[in-house]
Amino acid sequence: MPEMAEQNQNTAGSIGPVEPAYVLIGKLQKSHGIRGEISMRVITDFPERIRRGKTIYIGSDFQPNKITGTRWKNELLLLKLENYNNPEDVRELAGLDVFAAVKDLPALPAGRYYHHQLIGMRVFEGEVELGVLAAIMETGANDVYIIDQADGQELLIPAIPEVIQKVDLEQKRMNVHLLEGLRG
């Protein structure tokens, strides 16, 4: 599953052909314990990259913060951040979004893409342009690409190998083969 990226320019979205600077990886919850830890709900397919020594960016102004420690507590990740040493310090961070810099994202295996790389692509069947990939819906079984068509209608296509034939990141172009029942 590709990395989830917010689709709002204010939160590192993937609007248009310009790659965002940040992608959403979590949401801070509440302080934990007496040493200044804060819990985070993880919103990434790569939680292993949230580790000691890494820099994360917090809030809508993307304030950099260095991670000095992590540990899991049930489904939440407890973070210890540099210069936050007690519960009072981290309480001000509760409810804020946490981002990673796109430049720091790990490379994906061939044929896998981050959402922000796909949003804004022109989608074609053969030489016929179907529209622009506007959003990605995660369904569990497979992602569904939402294509904005020139007539204002939306076309929903499953992100499965039988449908997605080719993705060209440089050309921002995706070639698809619509299965019967998908055609408008």
Q: Does the pLDDT value for residue 183 go beyond 90?
A: no
Report how far residue 4's alpha carbon sits from residue 117's, in angstroms, rounded to the nearest whole number. Answer: 10
Q: Which of 114, 102, 98, 104 is nearest to 1 (CA)?
A: 114
Averaged over 53-66, what is the pLDDT? 96
For the chain, give the mean pLDDT. 86
Q: At residue 67, does pLDDT exceed 60?
A: yes
Question: By percentage, how much of the chain surpasses pLDDT 70?
Answer: 88
pTM beyond 0.75: the answer is: no
Q: What ranges in 7-134 are assigned the alpha helix state H?
A: 87-91, 115-118
Q: What confidence score (pLDDT) does residue 70 get?
A: 96
pLDDT tens, residue by residue, 78-129: 999 999 999 999 999 999 999 999 888 888 888 888 888 999 999 999 999 9
d(CA 49, CA 56): 10
